[in-house]
A and B are shown apart, each in its own frame.
Chain A
Amino acid sequence: MADDKDVLRDVWFGRIPTCFTLNPDEVTEREAEPYYLLLPRVSYLPLVTDKVKKHFLKVMRTEDVEEMWFEHEGTPLKWHYPIGVLFDFHASNTVLPWSITVHFKNFPDVDLLHCPTNSMVEAHFMSSIKEADALKHKSQVVNDMQKKDHKQLWMGLQNDKFDQFWAMNRKLMEYPTEEGGFRYIPFRIYQTTNDRPFIQRLFRPVSTEGNPHTLFDLLKEMCPDALTKDGCLQHLPCLPWTSFMSLTLNLCFSSSPPPKVESASLLG
């Protein structure tokens, strides 16, 4: 666990340099300068873009301002996905800084969820945590935690407090040693080549023979097309994500060209 703490810190403090530009069709009183920000990978857009909103509101009239939303190269960005997942999925092949366009009109309400307040982000985050625990511990750990513990978990994320967050999250990462891992591993696989938004299915950490499953096993079962014919992993999915959330996966892979972007993100 001591070695892992460095990895946990690296993941937590991961940042993506981003350039926010106002959609040219927005009505402004004067020209809007782009706004630069380092976005935390583990957080969510509505939590970290207050300054972006304030910056652009300075050049707009209130009557021209509706709910803010973001887009990258024409694709609306789903705020309820962690920022790191959004970047890996949409822009990992592009040069930095990541270019995001800001909109205040024509909210695409078929594709995007509304996000009027931070409470909405909290509700989604906690819902993910609870769903992940349903898979890991049949909800026993999260239900045994008190409301103030849930609050601390959320505040830790919202305020970028690693220690505060992990003081609570470590409880959700425990498992009985004789089991060898969680009941099921909570994961989602996002693929640019897929119609559906993500793949999420039941997956045990240990095989019926008692061998620990690897990331390779997971991918082989869930998205075999992502692997090359001779069974090698084409591109390393976000390594930090896999070790951040699941301590039960032993990573075993070989990397080989050519790269094909995918992102494995683990819930809660």
Chain B
Amino acid sequence: MSCGVVDEEEFCRCCRLLLQHSNGVGDGWSWEAVRGSDEGYLKKTLLRSVPAERSVPQKHKEPGSDSEKFDYCHLQTEEQEKQGVDASSDSLRPDAEEEDDGVCGAPAGSSSVLQFEYHILYSCSYRTPVLYFRASTLEGRSLTLEDVWRTVHPNYRLGLQSRPLDAITQQEHPFLGQAFFYLHPCRTEEFMKPLLQMARDQNRQVNYVLSWLSVVGPMVGLEVSLECLKQQQLHPTTPQQLRVPLRGSIQQPKTL
């Protein structure tokens, strides 16, 4: 793992380990294989409770309305400005913290439950993982880009908006062909580089995918469980272990 990128083989290896740790703590990840090839991706579905002001799906605005005058990135700034006061006061409420940890059953009227589906794919163009996701209400209505922006915690919104290619955009899922949202991977190398360098300086082995996920996941409501990270600490990958075939030493999930 030199520079800030990862090759496909290493990506798959990291996914296997992540899966293993996830199975150990019931974190809900699974591996989806692509028919007819050795490619695949990690998948996880969860229910998120999001404050009502941030979760109400709106009917998609038709072109020609006010939204057409703005770039999508700037549109959110306008909206955020309008909601500015509410959004920041949200984060101060003790409820807000609890509501975003994926647990349902928040006080009635103050939040709603959305279903999120996250996929981790490998990009051979950028040599990094990419996070795809989609969301819908429990009634099955897909969230629009505007809806999704509203679920992003205000603390992350400004950072995401200031660099358009890091923003959340819609994209076709490379294996399923369906509409997903994704975080553009072009800057992943940039933020992973110092992270990996630091680990090397401290003589620590890192799981690239797990580390990457702990950076990008929280922006879109995907927390990496502390238990999962702890598992990595307890069973770090050492250079010696890398050479041992996984079949013999560690139980490998059947799906891989």
Chain A residues with a Cβ under 8 A of chain B: 65-68, 78, 80, 107, 109-114, 116-117, 119-120, 123, 127, 130-132, 134-135, 139, 186, 195-198, 200-202
Task: Choose among A116, A131, A197 the residue that contacts B67 (Cβ–Cβ < 8 A).
Answer: A116
Q: Does B184 contact A (CB under 8 A)?
A: yes
Residues of B within 8 A of A201 (CB): 124
Residues of A within 8 A of B186 (CB): 130, 134, 139
Shortest Cβ distance from residue A69 to the other chain B in the assembled complex, whole angstroms: 11
Q: Please judge, given known A-B contacts A114-B144, A123-B169, A130-B165, whether A67 and B63 are in contact too, CB under 8 Å.
A: yes
CA distance A78 to B169 in the complex (A): 16
Q: Does B126 contact A (CB under 8 A)?
A: yes
Q: Kindly name the residue among B63, B171, B174, B176 whose own CB sees the greatest number of chain A CB atoms within 10 A.
A: B63
CA distance A201 to B169 in the complex (A): 23
Shortest Cβ distance from residue A89 to the other chain B in the assembled complex, whole angstroms: 12
CA distance A109 to B147 in the complex (A): 14
Shortest Cβ distance from residue A77 to the other chain B in the assembled complex, whole angstroms: 13
Q: Please judge, given known A-B contacts A119-B71, A127-B184, whether A113 and B170 are in contact too, CB under 8 Å.
A: yes
User: In the bound complex, do residue B142 and residue A109 qualify as a contact, i.e. CB atoms below 8 Å apart?
Assistant: yes
Q: Please judge, given known A-B contacts A113-B179, A198-B174, whether A65 and B62 are in contact too, CB under 8 Å.
A: yes
CA distance A107 to B110 in the complex (A): 30
Give 29 A-B contacts (CB < 8 Å), ordered by A residue: A66-B60, A67-B62, A78-B172, A80-B172, A109-B144, A109-B179, A111-B178, A113-B172, A113-B179, A116-B61, A116-B63, A116-B67, A116-B68, A116-B72, A117-B63, A119-B71, A123-B169, A130-B186, A134-B126, A134-B186, A196-B34, A196-B177, A197-B172, A197-B173, A197-B174, A197-B177, A198-B174, A200-B124, A200-B125
Q: Does B35 contact A (CB under 8 A)?
A: yes
Task: Choose among B62, B72, B173 the residue that contacts A66 (Cβ–Cβ < 8 A).
Answer: B62
Q: Which 8 A-B pairs have the closest CB atoms?
A: A197-B177, A113-B170, A134-B125, A109-B142, A131-B125, A119-B71, A113-B179, A202-B124
CA distance A264 to B165 in the complex (A): 27
Shortest Cβ distance from residue B189 to the other chain A in the assembled complex, whole angstroms: 9
Residues of B within 8 A of A135 (CB): 125
Chain B residues with a Cβ under 8 A of chain A: 34-36, 60-63, 67-68, 71-72, 124-126, 142, 144-145, 164-165, 169-179, 184, 186
CA distance A197 to B63 in the complex (A): 28
User: In the bound complex, do residue A114 and residue B60 qualify as a contact, i.e. CB atoms below 8 Å apart?
Assistant: yes
Task: Choose among B63, B67, B171 the residue that contacts A113 (Cβ–Cβ < 8 A).
Answer: B171
Q: Which residue of A lies closest to B143 (CB)?
A: A109
CA distance A131 to B179 in the complex (A): 19
User: In the bound complex, do residue B60 and residue A67 qualify as a contact, i.e. CB atoms below 8 Å apart?
Assistant: yes
Shortest Cβ distance from residue B64 to the other chain A in the assembled complex, whole angstroms: 9
Q: Which residue of B lies closest to A135 (CB)?
A: B125
CA distance A196 to B60 in the complex (A): 28
Residues of B within 8 A of A123 (CB): 72, 164, 169
Q: Which residue of B lies closest to A196 (CB)?
A: B175
User: In the bound complex, do residue B170 and residue A114 qualify as a contact, i.e. CB atoms below 8 Å apart?
Assistant: yes
Q: Which residue of B lies closest to A122 (CB)?
A: B71
Q: Please judge, given known A-B contacts A116-B63, A123-B169, whether A196 and B124 are in contact too, CB under 8 Å.
A: no
Additional 13 contacts, C-beta under 8 A, given A109-B144, A127-B184: A67-B60, A68-B63, A113-B179, A114-B179, A117-B63, A117-B67, A117-B68, A123-B72, A123-B164, A123-B169, A127-B165, A127-B169, A201-B124
Shortest Cβ distance from residue B40 to the other chain A in the assembled complex, whole angstroms: 12
Task: Choose among A78, A114, A134, A198 the residue that contacts B145 (Cβ–Cβ < 8 A).
Answer: A114
Q: Which residue of B lies closest to A203 (CB)?
A: B124
Q: Kindly name the residue among B34, B145, B172 whose own CB sees the greatest number of chain A CB atoms within 10 A.
A: B172
